[in-house]
Structure 1
Amino acid sequence: MGRRSRGREDLEVNVPSFFRCPISLDVMKSPVSLCTGVTYDRSSIQTWIETGHNTCPATMQVLPTTDLVPNHTLHRLIQLWSSPSSASPSVLLRRLQSSPSGDPLPILRTLLDLSTDPHGLRELVDDPAAVPALQGVLLREDLGLEAMEAAVCALSPVLLARHGDGAESLADSLTVSSLLAVLKGESLESRIAAAEILEAAAATSAAAERKLLIAGTGDLLAELLRLVREEEEAAADAGLSCLVALSPPRQTRVEMVRAGAVAVASKLLVRPAAAGGSAAEKALKLMEVASTCSEGRAAICEDPVAVPAIVGKMMKVSAAAREHAVVVLWSVCYLFRDRRAQEAATRGNGLMKILLLMQSNCSPATRQMAADLIKIFRVSAKGRLTSYDSMATHITPF
């Protein structure tokens, strides 16, 4: 039996057959009975009658009257069955899948509550239906922003706990468009969750085409940069991580630069709140990404804040951040030979900081780039530090 057939059987087991409308096959929202005794969802049977039919769809008996009698007992049973408060995560996920036209918000809110509880989150992580069910909500037409935000906030912790496992299916145009709609909203929590999902989808999609699809959807790059501008470090961190995950294709790097990535990263590096956190390290990584294309190197050199910010942060964050900073400075000062960048680095005491870095436990490639930079900075410093060997003996790394 195929996977799709097994899924259909699961739905039949989870939804009592008499809860389904005989016409639409969806769970009935407003069950009403005809004079034949058969119950239908009100909207379905009204459409049937209004299009000229005078028979009962199930029995094909001619209807002496088309009066619709509310079936209150069945309505109450459906309400009790569909109440999400006491249902398990597995049942809730399958209800989402079995009622594609129903209001998903009550179930999504319960799933969201479960995702904040360690036990509930573990159940969601272990359930293979979690990602397909929540993605299915994002694929619905005419879905309200509130429901999309709830689905995104429930899905993100599941993917994070799974280390991205299952995220590759999310790199399709319809899902990404829904995630972009959430990014354009005002809920910071939802926007962070959307960026985390997009990062997972980009990181697990080995094909460059999928990364390009994600990055090229509308103004997604601009929205991620808007998230980076937020004062909350978690927002900046999520936006930067997603941008870096999307950056391997050169076309995407160029578009990031055109969208203002260099200016945004520069301003983040000089913010007091980004003194030594993860966001500062990722901002330097984004600068490194930008420096690998000519457009990015030009933007770094033209931005009056960029090089001073990189030099100022290179010894204050982490070992990884120092290596990112060296790559950027090497790209613009040594490879690109930009005079503005060289002078800005020298004014920021770049030579001294590179000397300090040379004494730290950096990688051989970083050490070679640092040596190249020392030659450039010594010339630019015009004799300010006349002997590297003599000065280095008095320097201790941070």
Structure 2
Amino acid sequence: MRRRGGAKKDILTPAMSSSEEEEEEIVIPSQFQCPISYDLMKDPVIIASGITYDRENIEKWFESGNQTCPVTNTVLATLEQTPNHAIRRMIQEWCVAKGSSLDRVPTPRVPISSHQAIEICGKLLSATRRGDHVVCVEMVEKMKRLGQESERNTKCFKANGVGLVLCVCFNAFSENANASELLEDVLLLLTWMFPIGSEGQANLTSTTSFTRIVGFLKSGDQNAAFLVKELLSLDEAIVHKLAAINGVFDALVKSIRDSSSLTSIFHMISAKPETTSRFMELGLVNSTVEMLVDSENSVCEKALLVLDAICESNEGRTIVRGNELVMPILVKKILKISEFAKKSLVSVMWKICKSGDGSEVEEALRLGAFKKLVVMLQVGCGEGTKEKVTELLKMMNRHMKMNGFVDVSDSSIEFKHLKKPS
């Protein structure tokens, strides 16, 4: 449908056939128009004031914080909406009567109510306590279907405590070898439910739950990777719990292509630095550097955060310096990444140059880092980053003077002539 005008008496204009020279003008009857948008209602609902609106428009009104009827301005006792089946049928009949001029308004799927969400949640909890696998599968599949129908259903489940019950269910069946499909669906539903609260968190981070989640992570399950990332960001104590799970380091490195796993590795190294050695043994540096080659900006940000965390230790810096791709990639990306990523990049370069034997500084110079760092300094950057850039430039300038090195990328630039950023 194409629409002309915008006044209360909305005009619809049908598509023209090749033989038509004039457009038929169709006036939407006022009782079929939403009082908010004046458009044809697709999903008419009645609110507590007795006025009918299109569901999408009245929900936006309520989501904006309003608790009144837009037409009468009366304060509503409830924000519940009831489908107006009579008006919907009349609209559909009217559309059909207009023939090919208008598309028939489809029968909408009615969103679930809080009462229905609580009922489904209660059945799942009862079945979980009984260990009734069949009913749990039935309830979880029902939640999955309803959640995929609309975001409103997902929000309704989340608002009515479903997240906690799902965590309890996962924990209860985590040792059941025959519950893989159920647990996989629960993981999917849980990605819609964060934050899950302290009780849900306790169930999901139990040894048996974490062991099962790591099992899914090993198989490349993206929902498991997302949940691990979310859980690790909540509390450092969870990092120590996860680190004790057999196979977790291998699972995270193997799933590093999922940016969630990159973030999880960063959380683990930052909160528990002793995990760096274990990650190093599994080739984390090589895997992370490979991620920097052709990944999008958001992935580069996370990969550089991981490299920066690795370089906090002597062992980490030694292994990073030993990777022949590190300096070429860092120099290449200096001016091609986000401001947030530049902070980590400069930190990595500063750490490996400062702790090295001078060969890293020479390599950076040979690759044209001097000029690019000058540009970064002149354009402006954060205070901490500016200090590291300045120190890097001083190291490079000293190296050039001591070794007669000429920066072929721009030999006219001298450090003493650097313009200080305002």
Offset of residue 333 of structure 1 = 0.4
Superposed counterparts of 1:217-256, under 5 Å: 217-229=245-257, 235=258, 237-247=259-269, 248-256=271-279
2:193 is matched by which residue type in structure 1?
A: V
Superposed CA deviations along residues 115-139 of structure 1, whole A, max 9, x for unmatched, are: 4331111012212242343342244
Q: Contact between 1:308 and 1:348, CA under 8 Å: does it hold in 2?
A: yes
Offset of residue 365 of structure 1 = 1.5
1:354 is matched by which residue type in structure 2?
A: L
Structure 2 residue corresponding to 1:357, chosen from 376, 381, 387: 376
**2:234 aligned with 1:204, yes or no?**
yes
Superposed CA deviations along residues 258-315 of structure 1, whole A, max 9, x for unmatched, are: 32221111001112xx1x4211111111111111111211111111112222222232
Offset of residue 389 of structure 1 = 4.3
SS in 2 for 1:320: helix
**2:283 aligned with 1:260, yes or no?**
yes
Paired with 2:180 and 2:363, the residues of 1 have a C-alpha distance of: 46
Superposed counterparts of 1:169-318, under 5 Å: 169=202, 170-186=204-220, 191-207=221-237, 210-229=238-257, 235=258, 237-247=259-269, 248-271=271-294, 274=295, 276-318=296-338
1:228 is matched by which residue type in structure 2?
A: I
2:331 is matched by which residue type in structure 1?
A: V
Paired with 1:124 and 1:338, the residues of 2 have a C-alpha distance of: 59
Superposed counterparts of 1:65-214, under 5 Å: 88-100=116-128, 101-103=131-133, 104-116=136-148, 117-140=150-173, 141-143=175-177, 144-159=179-194, 162=195, 168-169=201-202, 170-186=204-220, 191-207=221-237, 210-214=238-242
Please list every run of 5 or more consecutive structure 1 residues that lacks an aligned counterpart in the other structure. 1-84, 230-234
1:184 is matched by which residue type in structure 2?
A: K
SS in 1 for 2:274: helix
SS in 2 for 1:359: helix
Q: Contact between 2:285 and 2:307, CA under 8 Å: does it hold in 1?
A: yes
User: What does residue 415 of structure 2 align with?
Assistant: 388
Offset of residue 345 of structure 1 = 2.3
Superposed counterparts of 1:13-32, under 5 Å: none
**2:362 aligned with 1:343, yes or no?**
yes
Superposed CA deviations along residues 139-159 of structure 1, whole A, max 9, x for unmatched, are: 422243222211111101211
Q: Higher helix fraction: Structure 1 or Structure 2?
A: 1
With over 3 angstroms needed to count, the CA separation of the structure-2 counterparts of 1:192 and 1:380, relative to structure 1, is farther
Let me know the Cα RMSD of the aligned residues: 2.7
User: What does residue 32 of structure 1 align with?
Assistant: none
Offset of residue 177 of structure 1 = 0.7
Structure 1 residue corresponding to 2:389, chosen from 349, 359, 370: 370
Paired with 1:97 and 1:206, the residues of 2 have a C-alpha distance of: 29
Offset of residue 163 of structure 1 = 8.5
Paired with 2:373 and 2:272, the residues of 1 have a C-alpha distance of: 30
Q: Contact between 1:330 and 1:369, CA under 8 Å: does it hold in 2?
A: yes
With over 3 angstroms needed to count, the CA separation of the structure-2 counterparts of 1:383 and 1:347, relative to structure 1, is closer
Superposed CA deviations along residues 14-57 of structure 1, whole A, max 9, x for unmatched, are: xxxxxxxxxxxxxxxxxxxxxxxxxxxxxxxxxxxxxxxxxxxx
TM-score normalised over the length of structure 2: 0.63
Offset of residue 338 of structure 1 = 4.0
Q: Contact between 1:281 and 1:320, CA under 8 Å: does it hold in 2?
A: yes
1:244 is matched by which residue type in structure 2?
A: F
SS in 2 for 1:315: coil
Offset of residue 327 of structure 1 = 0.7
Paired with 1:132 and 1:163, the residues of 2 have a C-alpha distance of: 10
Q: Contact between 1:164 and 1:204, CA under 8 Å: does it hold in 2?
A: no
Superposed CA deviations along residues 204-236 of structure 1, whole A, max 9, x for unmatched, are: 1143xx31221331221222222223xxxxx2x
Q: How many residues of Structure 1 are paired with residues of Structure 2 in the alignment?
A: 292
Offset of residue 166 of structure 1 = 6.3
Structure 2 residue corresponding to 1:324, chosen from 321, 344, 356: 344
SS in 2 for 1:99: helix
Paired with 1:341 and 1:306, the residues of 2 have a C-alpha distance of: 10
Paired with 1:173 and 1:317, the residues of 2 have a C-alpha distance of: 39
With over 3 angstroms needed to count, the CA separation of the structure-2 counterparts of 1:164 and 1:348, relative to structure 1, is farther
Identity value in percent: 18
Higher RCO (Cα < 8 Å, 6 or more apart): 1
SS in 1 for 2:233: helix
2:267 is matched by which residue type in structure 1?
A: A
Superposed CA deviations along residues 89-110 of structure 1, whole A, max 9, x for unmatched, are: 3323322221232223332222
Superposed CA deviations along residues 304-361 of structure 1, whole A, max 9, x for unmatched, are: 1122222222321210100000111111101x12444333322332212211211233
Paired with 1:324 and 1:115, the residues of 2 have a C-alpha distance of: 38
